[in-house]
């Protein structure tokens, strides 16, 4: 087997082990990688099939024929052969269960695939794939792989969090809310999940729930300017202008560099008939964002619009 082929096989094995976080013992890993390398080489004509004459009932023979079918793209045959190999073995083997799941998935038998992956404990692997997809902004793949992780292990809270992020990016806001709530029920508390949940609720116009999660965000991070701004925006949509002004003042206190904070505060002043304050605030925003044509228009119309 040449170095390119062996490197590709070893990389695949390392990816799988990295995703499984210790489920595969070292000796089992060596055996599994050996079979991956051997059958891949056999498939590409780098080893003679006649040099490996094994009893048809031998466990190694079952593994070999299963991997031959897998590399050849015969998913139905591969799945069946993997199952025979697993039944013939003394105990279930993680990697063979994983490839059996792959084979059945390719043959459009998702429930059978899920069962094999559950026995393999493969949910962390698909979660790792999902995280990698997110880092590469492959949003549809995030949905695919985190949904697999969720089906394999319904208690895997981070999978729901990533699903919520992906659904939000895809503007599937009700599904984002559902995914975030599932993550929170399972105890997910990493990063700014309360803020992400609030933003999803804002998009479905459930402003009371959005406010609730924003207050939870600020209880964790009382100096987080962005959360004050989003909370002010929620109040603004409910015409609670006094509360919106207070929260925008907080946002500007913690980060005075973002023009959007001043724009919304200017709008509050405008709607509460304070044109002088609105003009000053819009001008401050324009000094931070001088190319913003909409801001120029606001400044020009402030005396007309804010009375």
Tell me the CATH number at 165. 1.25.40.10
Q: Any idea which of 2-16, 41-55, 125-139, 235-249 has the lowest mean pLDDT?
A: 2-16
Which residue blocks in the chain are alpha helix, DSSP H? 3-20, 26-43, 59-72, 75-88, 94-106, 110-120, 123-135, 139-152, 157-169, 173-185, 193-203, 207-220, 225-237, 241-254, 259-271, 275-288, 293-305
72-76, 81-85, 86-90, 124-128: least confidently modelled range? 86-90
* Confidence (pLDDT) at 45: 54
Both 85 and 157 in one domain: the answer is no
Residues 94 and 179 in one domain: no
Q: Which of 162, 190, 218 is the last residue of a domain?
A: 190
Shared-domain flag, residues 72 and 94: yes
* Confidence grade of residue 59 (pLDDT, cut at 50, 70, 90): low
Q: Structural domain of residue 145, as residue ranges?
A: 122-190
pTM: 0.79
pLDDT digits (tens, 9 = 90+) for 250-281: 999 999 999 999 999 999 999 999 999 999 99
**What is the tally of structural domains in the chain?**
2
Domain membership flag for residue 165: yes
pLDDT digits (tens, 9 = 90+) for 168-212: 999 999 999 999 999 999 998 776 999 999 999 999 999 999 999
Percentage of the chain modeled with pLDDT above 70: 77
Domain end call among 190, 206, 223? 190
Rounded Cα distance between 127 and 16, Å, is 11
């Amino acid at each position: 087997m040449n170095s390119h082929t062996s490197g590709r096989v070893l990389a695949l094995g390392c990816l799988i082990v990295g995703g499984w976080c210790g489920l595969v013992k070292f000796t089992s890993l060596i055996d599994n990688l050996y079979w991956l390398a051997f059958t891949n080489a056999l498939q590409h004509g780098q080893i003679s099939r006649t040099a490996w004459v094994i009893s048809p009932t031998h466990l190694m023979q079952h593994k070999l024929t299963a991997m031959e079918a897998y590399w050849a793209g015969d998913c139905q045959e591969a799945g069946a052969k993997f199952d025979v190999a697993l039944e013939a073995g003394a105990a279930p083997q993680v990697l063979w269960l994983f490839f059996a799941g792959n084979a059945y998935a390719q043959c459009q038998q998702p429930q059978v695939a899920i069962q094999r992956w559950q026995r393999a404990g493969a949910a962390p692997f698909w979660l790792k794939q999902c995280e990698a997809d997110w880092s590469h902004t492959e949003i549809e793949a995030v949905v695919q792989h985190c949904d697999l992780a969720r089906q394999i292990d319904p208690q895997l809270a981070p999978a729901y969090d990533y699903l919520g992020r992906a659904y939000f990016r895809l503007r599937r806001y009700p599904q984002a809310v559902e995914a975030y709530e599932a993550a929170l029920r399972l105890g997910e508390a990493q990063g700014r999940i309360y803020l992400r949940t609030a933003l999803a609720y804002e998009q479905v116009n459930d402003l009371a729930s959005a406010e609730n999660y924003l207050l939870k965000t600020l209880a964790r991070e009382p100096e987080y300017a962005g959360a004050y701004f989003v909370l002010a925006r929620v109040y603004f949509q409910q015409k609670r202008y006094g509360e919106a002004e207070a929260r925008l003042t907080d946002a500007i206190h913690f980060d005075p560099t973002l023009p959007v904070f001043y724009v919304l505060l200017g709008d509050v002043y405008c709607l509460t008939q304070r044109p002088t304050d609105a003009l000053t605030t819009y001008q401050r925003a324009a000094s931070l964002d001088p190319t913003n044509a909409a801001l120029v228009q606001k400044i020009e119309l402030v005396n007309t619009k804010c009375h």
